[in-house]
Amino acid sequence: MIQEQLTIINKLGLHARAAAKLVGVAGQFESRIVLVKDGREADAKSIMSVMMLAASQGTELNVRIEGDDASEAWVALLSLVQNRFDEPE
């Protein structure tokens, strides 16, 4: 199991397009991926669940990944966030 922290750095946070990209990346993996903000858990493969976190710029999310491809999933999620969800800012 992987437990790490991610900081949302893009200007608009986890708005609809960014959340959809995150869900798309998470959905490529068999592992169970859970995002936690202020004690609330979200299934990273559910767009509604991710959007309900209301994660704005600067939000720190705890990420838990369990499964055989957990390492690959973590690298993909980290890359997506560090690349600001492919947004200009």
User: Could you list the active site residues?
Assistant: 15
Residue 83's nearest CA partner among 9, 12, 1 is 9
Kindly compute the dihedral angle of the four CA atoms of residues 46, 47, 51, 57, in this order, to the nearest 10 degrees. Answer: 100
